[in-house]
Amino acid sequence: MANPKIKSSAQIAKKSNATAGRKPAAKSLYSKADLEEIFRRFSIQRPEPKGELEHVNPFTLVVAVALSAQATDAGVNKATRALFAVADTPQKMLDLGEERIREYIKTIGLYRNKAKNVVALSEKLIADFGGEVPRTREELVTLPGVGRKTANVVLSMAFGQATMAVDTHIFRIANRLLLAPGKTPDEVEQRLMKIIPDEYLYHAHHWLILHGRYCCKARKPECERCVIADLCRSPEKTWDIPAPLVELPAQVIGSEAAS
């Protein structure tokens, strides 16, 4: 199991982090230089990555993210376009009522429970936060249907904070590439936050999601199309030559079915 080459890289990574004096070493197989290069390439590929969930304000973002559990972003967008046109504030959502909310979102998995949560979180926003979406993780997770991942997405997309919301794509990539291996999303989140260079941290969440969704796919990674194929240390890698570094669309709505 011991691989001298891999061990040596882990040691380099540890040393680099120690030298930087700001971040403890995480169990990543990548050196500081590797990490800089990986995220530099992602930054050239997608200079301004965007989330794919449509929303018009922080409130509709919270609702969209809460609805997206076990559903595709494209599927959520289809349902929320009409919903947010009539209800883009907690009060309007309450005025609409649970039954009509259910009608709007019935194409989304677990919609009955999610409709309940949308009502409950709207009530709580009005009762405890003056109808505004709070700006701290501690407050956000008190909202019904909002967990740590949702809170991280909202902090990043609505309030510009560098967070790492570990979804299925990020969890897979972190483990498959041995980038930030962890048994739980929280473990992966902590490790990624430690190893990703500061200057790339804000966009890293979207870069990793989009890389996982469109290139390093769940069933079969498309290594021939991968811009970090030379740096990748995944045992699943099938190709060593990096794909040409060209700018891609910031987001690709509706293509998830292909992933």
208 interacts with ligand SF4 by CB under 6 A: no
Is the Cβ of residue 155 or residue 229 nearer to ligand SF4 in the bound state?
Answer: 229
Is the Cβ of residue 80 or residue 234 nearer to ligand SF4 in the bound state?
Answer: 234
Q: Are 161 and 155 in contact (CB under 8 A)?
A: yes
Task: Please measure the distance between the N-terminal and C-terminal CA atoms of the chain and give it in whole angstroms.
Answer: 32
Among the listed residues 32, 34, 114, 167, the single catalytic one is 167
Which among 200, 218, 256, 233 is positioned nearest to 41, based on CA atoms? 200
- Binding ligand SF4 (rule: CB under 6 A), the pick from 29, 62, 170, 223 is 223
In the three-class reduction of DSSP (H, G, I as helix; E, B as strand; rest coil), residue 72 is classed as: coil
62 interacts with ligand SF4 by CB under 6 A: no
- Residue 142 belongs to what H/E stretch? none
Window contacting ligand SF4 (CB under 6 A); options: 5-13, 125-133, 160-168, 226-234? 226-234
Task: Map the footprint of ligand SF4 across residues 229-248, applying CB under 6 A.
Answer: 229, 232, 234, 236-237
Name the residue type at position 5: K
Question: Least CB distance from residue 165 to ligand SF4, whole Å?
Answer: 20
Look up residue 47 and give its DSSP letter: S
Annotated binding site for [4Fe-4S] cluster: 216, 223, 226, 232
**Token pair for 242:** 């990096």
Own/partner contacts of 30-37, CB < 8 Å, gap of 24 or more, are: 30/179, 30/195, 30/231, 30/233, 32/197, 34/9, 34/231, 35/195, 35/196, 35/197, 36/197, 37/228, 37/231
Window contacting ligand SF4 (CB under 6 A); options: 57-65, 89-97, 133-141, 221-229? 221-229
In the three-class reduction of DSSP (H, G, I as helix; E, B as strand; rest coil), residue 80 is classed as: helix
215 interacts with ligand SF4 by CB under 6 A: yes
Q: Does 149 qualify as catalytic in the annotation?
A: yes
Question: Least CB distance from residue 85 to ligand SF4, whole Å?
Answer: 38
Task: Map the footprint of ligand SF4 across residues 168-187, applying CB under 6 A.
Answer: 176-177
| Catalytic center residues | 149, 167
Binding site for ligand SF4 (CB under 6 A): 176-177, 215-216, 221-223, 226, 228-229, 232, 234, 236-237
